[in-house]
Structure 1
Amino acid sequence: MTKTVLISGGGIAGPALAYWLRRQGFTPTIVELAPSPRPGGQTVDIRGTSKVVAERMGLMPAIKRAQLHERGLAYVRADGRTAAEMSVELLDGAGAIADIEILRGDLAGILHDATSNDIEYLYGDSIAALDQDATGVDVTFTSGTQLRFDLVVGADGVHSRVRKLAFGPEEDFVHHLGGYTSFFTVESPEPLNHWMKIYSAPGGRWVGLRPDHDERYAKALLSFRSPLLNYDRHDVDALKALLVRRFTGLGWHTGHILAALPDADDFYFDSTSRVVVPDWSRGRVVLVGDAGYCGSPLAGHGTALSLVGAYVLAGELAAADGDHVRAFPSYQAEMQAYVDQRMELPPGGIKMAMPMTALGIRFRDASTRLMTSRLLAPALARMAAAVPDRIELKDCSVQWRDPVGVTAEETE
């Protein structure tokens, strides 16, 4: 039986889920608040099991064409000298920088291109209300449109509207880890030579630059430690002013970055938070990706969890012939160990990554140099290789067929 599925969120998890659902004979629709696909954004990575999903989607050629060939992460001092560095090769792509890094907007664009021909996108709209019963979900959109769907999926990120409507208030599921992060594009003040560079200042502050496709530009990063702040995340001017107050007077390229801040048209700001939802479904509503499980930027793996979660959710719905009562618990059971693993924070968490004192910064840099030394680096690489993703994807290429009878295997 064909099932209609409304997916809230047109970023990564939403289109990936729609891709797989469409191949199984479902009729997915994506609603996205933005007026059109959003380009740019921060750099994300594809690693481990998510590479397998991307390969089964036939997207790896496009991803490799769009990827940023980053060489690694370097901590720098106020005068620009390197204090410590970790190359991609050191951990075979399992470290802070993966072997496949790509701008979030580029990956979203690839997923959009793979789905836009046969999946309806409702741009510039969002869900205002959900009313579910035994046979479906009545959805009221902010535009005033009212439609009915068999199932609804929240793939709308950390601040999920679907989760708020169907599960409860955000504060029940989003846990602040003690920091805030912003990204935006600037003219590059120096050749980065494909390295991500981070300058740490006392007070738990990071000033970073990350390569862009065009070497004339870079993605700027301003992050700081702080208890919860009371702010309007839609008031961009106020958030930019907050950053100016926090970072004025610091060294390295901070002045250059702050000077570009007022005119940044791709500005992003958010808290460093984890999303923990004990049960990912409520009746006919289910969550995927950051809306249901997010370890924060400190943990990473958000894109991987989105791609893998979309694949598993679609697979369980297909295996259950669309019966959400069976499919949703099976989806969580398949994903839970992997989610738990990839939501783990690195040793020391935000305190180690963003020290409050000059002594703490020197200790972190010295620890990094020790871990990347000839003595310890090989052992570290072996340890990373010995911890595979805690999930084994089902190979559904034989049983999964789209409406015209083409298998996933035949299109790759």
Structure 2
Amino acid sequence: MSKLHVLVSGGGIAGNAVALALIRSGIRTTVVERAAAPRPGGQAVDLRGPSREVAERMGLMPGITRHRIDERGMSYVDGRGRAWVRMPVAMFEGKGPIADIEITRGDLSRVLLDALAAAPGRLDYRYGESIDTLRPDDAGVTVGFTSGATGRFDLVIGADGVHSATRRLAFGPEENYKTYLGGYTSYFTLPTPAGVEPGWLAMHTVPGAALGIRPDAEPGTAKAVIMLRTAADPALRGDVTAQQQLIRRMLHGAGWLTPTVLDAMDTASDFYFDELARIDMPSLSTGRVVLLGDALLRLTAVGHGNRDGTGRCLPARRGTRGRSGRSDGRARALRGAGHAVPGQGQGTAGWWAGDDGAHHPCRRGAHPPGDPGDGRAALPPAAARHDERHRRLRTALVRHRFRGPAVSAAQSRIAPPLGLSSRAMAE
């Protein structure tokens, strides 16, 4: 049994995954989570490629399968709810915004919590607690908590998300490492609206915004997904009333099921709202403090984050020993527990861009981000490059799919709403 004592800050996917790897390796582990209880719902995450391989190796697939979302495809609908393009999940071949195995972040975290409860080992799990101060030295780290308690640890792992307090205390202000990508995203659970096709993610876009309704693992409920393209507003941080006012303003008159979704937003117990941002860190550790998951590398909430983020959060190796095979108390000997699985393919943020059709997956000649007259806020340079890159990738993907006589009818239906000819679609 190791004499090491590791503190994990954050009880989400990354924190619970690394805690599971640590206690299975005989390492005493303490997890602190700011929330008072496990948080349900949240964004759907894909398990494909390395992410699925890691989940299988950790013995998590039975639980994941029980909670998987039955998502069969994606459609775009107009203001009356009429689908003008339908894309079955198989069409994406693992490179799009949906996959054959999807699970909400809350359910995946619950699967990990169940595995933690069943695993032998020394685990202290504290809800309603978070890190307040860090005082590292050559022998360890003295940690002060918001409750007033203190503790001494050999290693601190910051898995506390994109707005990581651990990162701020160890590396400096968030603004030093964050790039705003031009918008906000929101998720919440609602009763399944009448008329929603079972098993399909339906998307409706208006200038500057997009609304999606996707299936949920729980019968009778669905997930609302909202994307807003607008300038950054620091006043939105932590102000739920202001966040919901922005959503209502940008979706005003959107048609389809928008009124139903907005009514449900008022009473949703799992309402989530955050900016689309990229986190870039120069290193994963400083001394005895290590970052993991979104605290270390977060590309967007709907791009890389929903498809390979799970792989980055889950440990890539069974054990936590370094190359020497010894647990010597140094951070490098524990890096294996949080080793990042390389991401696969390109992000999918472009599939969700809300505008007047310029960013639908078959549009040609779309305005560059921020171009006058496109109805959207101008994007920062980094965000504009990100947006344009995914527009080109998306266009190439759809052109590859729409080939042959079997899709000629689909081309005829898609082209008119976009102002295109069927001939142009085939070019």
Task: State the TM-score, normalizing by the size of structure 2.
Answer: 0.79
2-structure distance, mates of 1:18, 1:360: 41
Query: Post-superposition shift, 1:128?
Result: 0.3
Aligned residue in 2 for 1:198? 203
Contact 2:54 2:314 in 1 (8 A): no
Percent identity between the two aligned chains: 42
2-structure distance, mates of 1:87, 1:106: 24
Could you say if the C-alpha distance between residues 369 and 253 of structure 1 is closer, same or farther in structure 2, counting changes exceeding 3 Å?
A: farther
Contact 1:12 1:307 in 2 (8 A): no
Q: How does 1:149-228 map to 2 (within 5 A)?
A: 149-189=153-193, 190-202=195-207, 204-228=208-232
Q: How many residues align?
A: 370
Contact 1:13 1:307 in 2 (8 A): no
Contact 1:4 1:151 in 2 (8 A): yes
Deviation string 1:14-70 (CA, Å, 9 cap, x unpaired) is: 111111111222111110011111122222121111111111111111111110110
Query: Post-superposition shift, 1:313?
Result: 7.4
Aligned residue in 2 for 1:289? 293
SS of alignment partner, residue 235 of structure 2: coil
Gaps of 5+ in 2: 365-393, 408-427
Aligned residue in 2 for 1:96? 97
Q: How does 1:35-74 map to 2 (within 5 A)?
A: 35-74=36-75
Query: Which letter maps to 2:282?
Result: P
Deviates more, 1:106-115 or 1:305-314: 305-314
SS of alignment partner, residue 226 of structure 2: strand
Contact 1:289 1:302 in 2 (8 A): no
Query: Post-superposition shift, 1:311?
Result: 1.5
Query: Which letter maps to 2:176?
Result: D
SS of alignment partner, residue 73 of structure 1: strand
1-structure distance, mates of 2:101, 2:116: 22
1-structure distance, mates of 2:405, 2:110: 40
Contact 1:313 1:331 in 2 (8 A): yes
Query: Which letter maps to 1:199?
Result: H
Gaps of 5+ in 1: 379-412
Query: Post-superposition shift, 1:364?
Result: 3.3
Query: Which letter maps to 2:41?
Result: G
Aligned residue in 2 for 1:275? 279
Deviation string 1:309-352 (CA, Å, 9 cap, x unpaired) is: 542477454545334354477889x748x25x56x545xx64x7
2-structure distance, mates of 1:173, 1:369: 34
Contact 2:188 2:225 in 1 (8 A): yes
Contact 1:17 1:314 in 2 (8 A): no
Deviation string 1:183-222 (CA, Å, 9 cap, x unpaired) is: 11122222322000110112x2101101123443211122
Deviation string 1:66-105 (CA, Å, 9 cap, x unpaired) is: 1011001111111212222322112333421111111211
SS of alignment partner, residue 364 of structure 1: coil
Tell me whether 1:235 sits opposite 2:239 in the alignment.
Answer: yes
Aligned residue in 2 for 1:144? 148
Task: State the TM-score, normalizing by the size of structure 1.
Answer: 0.82
2-structure distance, mates of 1:172, 1:299: 21
Root mean square deviation, CA, Å:
2.8
Contact 1:45 1:98 in 2 (8 A): yes
Deviation string 1:111-143 (CA, Å, 9 cap, x unpaired) is: 001113542211001000000000000000000
Contact 1:191 1:215 in 2 (8 A): no
Contact 1:80 1:252 in 2 (8 A): yes
